[in-house]
Amino acid sequence: MAARYLIFEDGTVFAGEGFGAPAVTFGEVVFNTSMTGYQEIITNQIYNNQLLVFTQPNIGSTGIQRNIYETIVPTIKGVVVRSLSNVATNNVRRLTLDQYLKQMNIPGITNIDTRAIVHKLRAAGKPLKGSIVPVPDDHAFDQLHATVLTSQQVAQVATPKPYPNPGVGKSVVVVDFGLKNGVLRQLSRRKCNVTVLPYTATTDEILRLDPDGVVLSTGPGDPNRLNSSILQTIREVEERVPLFAIGLGHELFAMANGAQVNRQPVEHHGMNHPLREVITDHIVYATQGGGFQVDPTTVDRTKLFVTYIDMLDNSIQGLRHREYPAFSVQFFPDGAPGPDETNALFDEFIDVMNRKEAQR
């Protein structure tokens, strides 16, 4: 492996060894504290524009599996690890993490003091731009400083065209902001007849399919940067059909109903925070990932109420509409990777659709 360097916009350099693609990319550096599921994490589109530091030190030991991709063409900007294992476990063609990242044109760097980076990012208190480069010279830093990260993240990762995922159960429209396959997996397990629509889908385009329910998917980036027509669409849809929003979808659902969404100083990606379900007072664990949160001071004046709270930072992790059968969660109830405890939210969504149908 060749020497490579992880450089930060503040001038810091970490020396390591390169793996994956020799490409030079730029992005915000964030860390993830999960101990399982690197393949699912790397293929999650929320990491578009980001270089991800794994705090779990050893990555790659289960190779690449055919059935756990969260997207087929990941757009993560880079993978930073302490220790890389090159193991292939698949049946037909041997594929290691290193080879996979090469195929996907994603750079990686190993032998990095990842714990030091976590401390650095927390101390910075704001997202830091970084890059994996072959030489940490002035040129590399100039390029890093000159880089303006795209605000068109959703446009980059969401499907441009509708496609079906047929089933024999409830008809569900999934609006794709950078969909995580886990959502489709959960709906498919419940036999739903799914149509995935681009995030630009209008109210008309959604309702034309006469869905039993609509899912707003997860996705990357800042919801405030998206066209506000999406919020109007959400308002129109939630009045008419049951709605389940996740991640970025949850943030948009909150905004559509009058709340504000802010960037966190340090992004949280992991699966070990206790989340309290307000109505039952139960504590559950779920995968969390992202840099944005609904501002709790702005929820009171909306028709939303809080359903889940992160007990460590008191952040809002779930919302529900007071009048419409519409609810949302900030975390990933599909797991993949992560605890299954909140999978039941998909059952709840099915129930809501059944009830709505019974009312007709």
Partner 1 sequence: MESDVHSVLIIGAGANDIQHGDEVDAATFQVATEFKKLGIHTIFIDDNPFSVSLESHDVIDHSCVEALTVDNLMAVINRYKPHAILPTLGNRRAFELTQKLMDKGVLREKGIRLLGIPEATIHQINNPVLLSRTLHSMDAPMKSIATVNNYQDALQEANRLGYPVIIRSVLPKSSSTRRIVHDRRELVTAVQRCLKQSRAEQVLVQQSLAGYKEIEVMVQRDQSGTMMMLAMVEDMDPIGIHAGDSIAFNPPQTLLDRQIQDMRDTAFAITRKLRIVGVNHVQFALNPANDRFYVIKNSPYFDRMTSFVAQSTGYPIAKVCVQLYAGKLLRDIDLGTDYIHHAALVEPTMDHIAARVPLWGFHELPEADRQLATEKKSVGTAFGVGRSPIEAVFKAIEATYRKSTDARLHEQEKLSDDELVVKLVHPEAGRLFTLIEAMRRGYSVEELTEMTKIDPFYFDQINRMRLLIEDVIEHRQKEPMLAEAKYYGLSNQLIAHLWETTPGQVYQMAEDHQLMAKYKEIEPSGGEFTQHTHSFYAAFEDENEVRKTAQPSALVVGTGGLRLGLSNAGDYFVAMMMRQLHADGFHTIVVNSNPSSVNLSYSLADKRYLEPATAENILQIVRIEQPRFLFVPASYTELLNALAKSEISGRVVVIPDTSRSQLTCADQRLLATNFLYDGKYAYPLGSTSNIHAAHPELGPTVVQYPAEVDGSLNQQLTEQGLANVLEEDHPGLYQVLFEQEPGGNYVKRGIQEMPLPELAFLSKALQLDLTGIFTRIVTGQVNDEQINAFLKREATMGTALYQPSFPFKALHVADGVPTANKVIGAQLHFLK
Residues belonging to the binding site for L-glutamine are 219, 221, 248, 291-292
| Residue 338 makes contact with partner 1 by CB under 8 A | yes
Out of 89, 151, 227, 232, the residue judged to bind partner 1 by CB under 8 A: 89
SS (H, E, C) the chain: CCEEEEEECCCCEEEEEEEECCCCCEEEEEEECCCCCHHHHHCCHHHECEEEEECCCEECCCCCCCCCCCCCCCCECEEECCEECCCCCCCCCCCCHHHHHHHCCCEEEECCCHHHHHHHHHHHCCCEEEEEECCCCHHHHHHHHHCCCCCCHHHHHCCCCCEEECCCCCEEEEEECCCCHHHHHHHHHCCCEEEEEECCCCHHHHHCCCCCEEEECCCCCCHHHCCCHHHHHHHHHHCCCCEEEECHHHHHHHHHCCCCEEEEEEEEEECCCCEEECCCCCEECCEEEEEEEECHHHCCCCCEEEEEEECCCCCEEEEEECCCCEEEECCECCCCCCCCCCCHHHHHHHHHHHHHHHHC
Please report how close the Cβ of residue 331 comes to partner 1 at its closest, in angstroms.
Answer: 14
Please report how close the Cβ of residue 237 comes to partner 1 at its closest, in angstroms.
Answer: 32
Please report how close the Cβ of residue 287 comes to partner 1 at its closest, in angstroms.
Answer: 10
| Residue 278 makes contact with partner 1 by CB under 8 A | no
Please report how close the Cβ of residue 152 comes to partner 1 at its closest, in angstroms.
Answer: 30
In Å, how far are 45, 120, 354 from 290, measured between CA atoms?
11, 18, 31
Out of 23, 85, 134, 203, the residue judged to bind partner 1 by CB under 8 A: 85
Q: Which stretch binds partner 1 (CB under 8 A): 113-121, 156-164, 173-181, 325-333?
A: 113-121
String of contacts with partner 1 for each residue 20-49, x by CB under 8 A = -----------x-xxxxx--x---------
Please report how close the Cβ of residue 333 comes to partner 1 at its closest, in angstroms.
Answer: 13
| Residue 354 makes contact with partner 1 by CB under 8 A | no
| Residue 296 makes contact with partner 1 by CB under 8 A | no
Cβ-proximal residues to 204 (8 Å cutoff; 6+ apart), any chain: none
| Residue 188 makes contact with partner 1 by CB under 8 A | no
Q: Taking Cα atoms as reference points, which of 74, 55, 54 lies closest to residue 64?
A: 74
- Among 98, 212, 310, 334, the active-site one is 334
Q: Is 334 an active-site residue?
A: yes
Instruction: Give buried/exposed letters for 281-300 (b at 16+ CB in 10 A, else e).
Output: eeebbbbbbbbbbbeeebbe
| Residue 3 makes contact with partner 1 by CB under 8 A | no
| Residue 61 makes contact with partner 1 by CB under 8 A | yes
User: What are the two backbone dihedrals, phi and then psi, of residue 199, each rounded to the nearest 5 degrees?
Assistant: -65, -15
- Examine residue 337 and say whether the peptide bond preceding it is cis (omega within 30 degrees of 0): yes
Out of 4, 77, 250, 268, the residue judged to bind partner 1 by CB under 8 A: 268
Please report how close the Cβ of residue 134 comes to partner 1 at its closest, in angstroms.
Answer: 19
Of the pair 114, 302, the CB lying nearest partner 1 is at 114
| Residue 283 makes contact with partner 1 by CB under 8 A | yes
Please report how close the Cβ of residue 78 comes to partner 1 at its closest, in angstroms.
Answer: 19
Out of 17, 23, 24, 57, the residue judged to bind partner 1 by CB under 8 A: 57
Residues belonging to the binding site are 219, 221, 248, 291-292
Q: Which stretch binds partner 1 (CB under 8 A): 216-224, 238-246, 282-290, 320-328?
A: 282-290
Of the pair 253, 285, the CB lying nearest partner 1 is at 285
| Number of residues in contact with partner 1 under rule CB under 8 A | 48
What tokens were used for 212?
Answer: 């039993």
| Residue 68 makes contact with partner 1 by CB under 8 A | yes
Contact positions vs partner 1 (CB under 8 A): 14, 31, 33-37, 40, 55-58, 61-62, 65, 68, 82-83, 85-87, 89, 111, 113-116, 118-119, 122, 268, 270-274, 276, 282-283, 285, 311-312, 335-340
- Enumerate the active-site residues: 334
